[in-house]
Every structure is written in structure tokens, then in C-alpha cells.
Structure 1
Amino acid sequence: MSGAGEEAVTPKVGIRDVARAAGVSVTTVSHVLNETPHTRTSEATRDRVRSVARELGYTPNRLARGLRTRASDMIGLLTEEIATTPHAGRIILGAQEEASRHNLTLAIINSHLDAGADARRADARALIERQVDGIIYATVFHHEVSVPRELRAVPAVLIGALDRQGVVPAVLPDEASGAADLVALLAEAGHRRIAFADSSIEVPATQGRLIGYLRGLEQAGIPRDDRLITSGVSEAGGGYTTSLELLDRDDRPTAIFCYNDRMAMGAYRAAQELGLRVPDDVSIVGFDDQAPIAASVHPALTTVALPHYEMGAWAVATLTRLIQSSSTSWYRSTHPTLLPCPVVIRDSVAQNNR
């Protein structure tokens, strides 16, 4: 009991109290009271939430002021196991440094690659419940994804993937142009018989790099020769078997373009077993500029770098514009943004004298 002269203390009403009384989720209450854009809450639900909040005397605190006002100054990075891949550090670094430039904090949830749709939705909800202003969804492989519906509640962008519905903005590496540039480098060194050791796994990167290889041949005026196109697993073993097949014949190619740096490692081994020197007898190039492979093999590998840092920075910069924009036009993105993949010249290409 209160003593004489003491006033009874009224418990502070929180957002969960409003949600419980209105029969909706905490996230819905947050979106309604803070007028978060791009949500699908019905007008009837909005009216009920506002009415309950008034009746209970709810007063929002700083974190609950809403995503629209960027009260939390926090954005989420929902990853598809990229934190365990060799390239993840550059993506995260690019995102973190760009976030710092905008005075934002980056919250990361690393999801398992084989996680189901329910798990991905739960991860997205976990970020939203932490009052993030927006979410970046990064995938380990370049492919089409079904974006968790929870991501429609806040501004969102994709790294390395395409939204099947063509709604969420996405950034991808321009692998076709990178591959074409690599073929151009070989052609400028006098190579006309340029083989392509492709991946046998059907993912968009496989298609993009093959398209770039063929485009590069065409631009250099080199006829396509399907006998110079092979495929294998995208590891050192696959590079070894495909390159051994290409090099162990009289009309061997003078250069091999490998799908990735790991396959290039196998190509080095195949050349060595056949008594061929890299790059004197055969030039070998890769793709990905994967550390520590590309710079550590001997001779150091000429390859193409994927713009991981740039994609992380692009995602944060774009997400910041989405958060600050009152227009939904930003949300329509039928074509992804493609970032350049620069050629990294090292020591594995020589002038062809054959």
C-alpha cells in the first residue's frame, strides 16, 4: 500500500502492451505507430492499433519512434552463410565502412546455407524486432531467390542475388564483361587458341563467364571452337582433369581460361605433369582473385577480381537512400546493378610465339 502523501505509480505502457490489447504483433504496432512505408497492414488494423495506443496512453521511446525516422540508426545484414566463405570479409568490410560514413551500425545474422524458408523469415523478423531501419540480404551463390516476405516491411536490398519478383533492388558482379576483358588480354598477347575450362555446375556465374568468353573471342575476331571448351567440377581436381585433356594433344591451346582460381591451380599441375612451363609454354588465367590462391601460386595468377567490397558499400549506400526516400519507386528494380570485375594482371600470361 502507498503511504500517506504518496502518489500511486502508474506502470509505463510498452509496445508489447499495445500489441497484446490490439491482438497483433509487436512489429505491426511499430510499423503502424511510426508510419513505416511499404507495409501491407490493412487500414482497419491501423485504426485499431492507433485507438488502443490512445486508450492505454502509450508514449513511444526513442527506439520505438520507427524505422521511417531511422530512430535506431541500425541496419541489418542477413547473410546466406557468406561469413564462412573466403569472400565474406570484403563484403562485410565494404558494408561496415559505408555504414560508418552514414553513422549507421551494422547488425549481422549469418544464416545456414541449407536453412529453410521458415528459418530465413525468423532471421528477418529478429532483425526487424531489433528496430533496424533496413535490411541487406547477401547470398553465397549468385542465383534467384524468393525474398522472405518479412523483408517487404522495411527497405531492403540484395547482394549477389536476384529477387524472383523483380521488386527488391540487387547488385551483382558483371562477370560476363570481366570474362570478355580477360580474353581480350590473352588476344592482345597473341593467343588465338584460347581454351575455356568451365564449371559443370549450372549457376548464373557459369553462364555469365561462358557468355563473356564467347563475347571476348568474337570481339577479338577469333572463331569459336567447341573443342576448346570443356567442363569439370569447380575445384582444383576439375581444373586438372579438364586441362590435362586440353593440353595432352598435338593441337593444344596456347592459353587456358579457367572458370575460377581453384581450377587454375589444377591446370598448373596438369601443365607441370606434361612438362609444360607456365607461362612460357601455356598461359593460364583464372577468375575470382581468391586469396590466398591467386597471389601465392607460382607464377602468380592473372585473374579477375569480384567486387565484393564495392557490392557491400553499394548495398549500404542504396539502402540509405531507400530509408530516406518517401517514394516507393525505389522499390521497383527489374534490372540489377552490375559492378565491374577488373582484371588483375600478374605473371601467368606470356606473349604467344607459336
Structure 2
Amino acid sequence: MTGSRVSEKTNGIRDVAARAGVSQTTVSHVLNETPHTRVSEETAARVRAAAEELGYRPNRLARGLRTHASDMIGLLTEEIATTPHAGRIILGAQEEASRRNLTLAIINSELNPDPEVDSTQIQAFLDRQADGIIYATVYHDVISPPENLRVRPAVLIGARDEAGLIPAVLPDERGGAASVVDMLVARGHRRIAFAASADDVPATRGRLRGYVDAMTRAGLSTDGLIASGGSDARGGYTATLELLDREPTAVFCYNDRMAMGAYRAAADRGLRIPTDLSVVGFDDQAPLPESLFPALTTVALPHYEMGAWAVAALAESIQGKQDGSLLAAHPTVLNCPLVERESVAPPRERAGA
């Protein structure tokens, strides 16, 4: 005999079952997250610990052949991968998918002004046996999904299904805007102006409604305190110059880029932020808010949380643990938290007041 081969033992499901003191069927149910099975959390934790100790992983290919499941979900984005902040949606989706032992496949499509969604790219996921599909849109309030988006479980990010059949998750634009006004009122402001976007998109309408809601609730007038401009620094500059003629003590801007223009307008009028004028933005679009001086108080969009929520909801639906039709009936709205920095102070006493 000229040599010998030493074979390294590979632990299997039988070894995990023996280590955990349960049946092989129980191990299979726990590690494959089989729906509608009665396994206590204590037993499941013991099985997962045994599998980790032995370095055992389920054969996902074999499982897929048995169950016709691929453990892959598709994320179809609408130019989201190329926008500054929406990478957070992808990160949230990826990390939640990884936590659930799922593979996330991503297709980035062109911005579609038509609420009719193209079925071609959805079909690409179906051809690859995706267990479910997430569609993330940029501007649409309501969309008309093609029939093939309903072939498998699906979730929408940033839009609602016209027919109300697909679960959706949306940011609470209205509530986020209202929280800005509430904060400014609590700091003593009464003349709070709003530099609105001239773009007719859901975010414009939601943030304007939130501003008006909170001003009305506080017993404050909005007359002459709303001006519109492009949703960029130039638009914020022109809108703020118009508003400063009406002597507000605070300017709430539609987004952080408009707030950047508001800073320039204040400087051109010889006003200091926040001593003479408080400024607030929306989006928390890194690195802009912390790059301004003083650092901008703003509202954060829950991009990461929406991505994670979509994957979690989709996984629960795929596994039969959740009825997607119940979620579809009432879209989930996630909080837009206020991020306080240095651009807000109590209003100064005006000369002669």
C-alpha cells in the first residue's frame, strides 16, 4: 500500500438530531423553517445550537427539489440603486434576507413615469424561480401591477397597489412633516414658513398636508407662508428669498437640498442660522445635513426599515405564516423620525416687539 486517504466525517441531520435530543423530522422542520409545525422555541433554539456546533447546513438544493422553493427573492428597483439615499433600502433588504438565510437578487430598472409596471423584468425573476418579489418605486402613489406580479407573493415599497391586493410599505411623509412644525412650535416659533417643492409627487403632497395639519392644530395661520420652487438648492434659494419678505422665524424646507439653498438665501439677507432664522430639511440625505454649517436639523426617511420590512413580510407570506391579503388591505406606514442637529433655536425678540 503506497498511501492512505483519510476521510473527514461530514456531520448530517442524524448527528444534529442526536446532539439536540430530537427527531430528524424536528431538525428538518426547524432548519428549513417549515410552516405550520409545532416546535417550541426552546427546542428550536437547541436544534439551531446543535447545528451550529456541528457545522451543519441544510442542503438547500435538495430542499428546493422537494418543495419547489429556491430560497431566493427578487428586488426590482426603479432607479433606486442610483439615487443617493436609497441604497439603504437595498442594505435593509439584504441584511434581513441574510438573517433569514435567503438570497436577494436585484434588478434595477429605468424610472417609469407610467403607473403601469413593466412585466418583462418581473418575468425574469419568475423564470429564475424566485419565491417572491419586491417592487420598489420612486414617485408613484398608486400603481397598476401586471398580472405576473401576483403569480408569487409580492410586496411594494413606496407605492400602493390600485387593486389593494399586494402588501405595501410607505414612509409617513405627512407625520414627519407635522413633527417638524410641532417641534418648532415647542421651541417658541409662530411664524413658520414652508418652502415647498413644485414637483407634483406623493412626497410633495404628503409633506405639505403634514405642515398644514400641524399649523392648524397649533392655531397658526399659513397665509403667505408657503412658497414653491424646484426641489434643489436653487429652488430652495428662490423660495426662501420670497418667504423672507414675510418675516418668518423658521423655514421648513421640502428636502435637504432646498434647505441648502435656504442657507444661502439667509446669508444673502444677513441672517444667521439659527440665531436669526431656524431652518429644517427633510430626507436626512447623507452627507448633506452634517456638511452644512450649522448642521441641519431634518427628518429621516426609513429606507433601511422599509427594505427590511418588505423582506420580512414577504418571507412570512412565502412560509404561510402570514396572510398577505390582510396586509394588502391596509398599507404599512413607517415613522419618519426627526433628527435634531444645530439649525434650530428659539426665535429672537424683534426690535419694537
Q: Return the match for 1:207 from 201, 205, 208.
A: 205
Matched, 1:330 2:343: no
CA contact (8 A) 1:166 1:332 kept: no
Q: Which residue of 1 aligns with 2:233?
A: 236
After superposition, the Cα gap between the structure-2 partners of 1:145 and 1:205, relative to the gap in structure 1 and judged at 3 Å, is same
Q: Which residue of 2 aligns with 1:284?
A: 279
Q: Provide TM-score, normalisation by structure 1.
A: 0.77
Matches within 5 A, 1:148-227: 148-222=146-220, 224-227=221-224
2:294 and 2:307 mapped to 1: Cα distance?
Answer: 31
Q: Which residue of 2 aligns with 1:49?
A: none
The residue type paired with residue 141 of structure 2 is H
Matched, 1:349 2:347: no
Q: Which residue of 2 aligns with 1:275?
A: 270
The residue type paired with residue 197 of structure 1 is A
Matched, 1:258 2:256: no
SS in 2 for 1:178: helix
Runs of 4+ deviating beyond 6 Å: 115-119
Cα deviation for residue 264 of structure 1 reads: 0.4
Q: State the Cα deviation string for residues 198-223 of structure 1 (Å, max 9, x = none).
A: 1111111111111111122133232x
2:207 and 2:196 mapped to 1: Cα distance?
Answer: 8
Q: Return the match for 2:310 from 308, 315, 327.
A: 315
2:322 and 2:310 mapped to 1: Cα distance?
Answer: 18
The residue type paired with residue 238 of structure 2 is T
Of the structure 1 ranges 322-331 and 70-79, higher mean CA displacement relative to structure 2 is found in: 322-331
1:108 and 1:148 mapped to 2: Cα distance?
Answer: 19
The residue type paired with residue 320 of structure 2 is S
Q: Return the match for 2:111 from 107, 110, 113.
A: 113
The residue type paired with residue 283 of structure 1 is S
After superposition, the Cα gap between the structure-2 partners of 1:193 and 1:101, relative to the gap in structure 1 and judged at 3 Å, is same
Matches within 5 A, 1:54-65: 62=62, 65=65
After superposition, the Cα gap between the structure-2 partners of 1:78 and 1:117, relative to the gap in structure 1 and judged at 3 Å, is same
CA contact (8 A) 2:167 2:324 kept: no
Of the structure 1 ranges 76-85 and 139-148, higher mean CA displacement relative to structure 2 is found in: 139-148
2:133 and 2:113 mapped to 1: Cα distance?
Answer: 18
Q: Which residue of 1 aligns with 2:291?
A: 296
Matched pairs, number: 289
Structure 2 gaps, min length 5: 1-60
CA contact (8 A) 2:317 2:324 kept: no
Q: Which residue of 2 aligns with 1:17?
A: none
SS in 1 for 2:131: coil
CA contact (8 A) 2:117 2:143 kept: no
SS in 2 for 1:87: coil
SS in 2 for 1:95: helix
Matches within 5 A, 1:35-46: none
After superposition, the Cα gap between the structure-2 partners of 1:212 and 1:116, relative to the gap in structure 1 and judged at 3 Å, is closer
Q: Provide TM-score, normalisation by structure 2.
A: 0.78
Q: State the Cα deviation string for residues 146-196 of structure 1 (Å, max 9, x = none).
A: 112211100000001111111110000011111111111111111000000
The residue type paired with residue 235 of structure 1 is D
1:231 and 1:70 mapped to 2: Cα distance?
Answer: 53
Q: State the Cα deviation string for residues 270-312 of structure 1 (Å, max 9, x = none).
A: 0111111111110000000011111111111000000000000
Q: Return the match for 2:335 from 332, 340, 344.
A: 340
The residue type paired with residue 265 of structure 2 is A
SS in 1 for 2:158: strand
CA contact (8 A) 1:63 1:131 kept: no
Identity percentage of aligned residues? 62
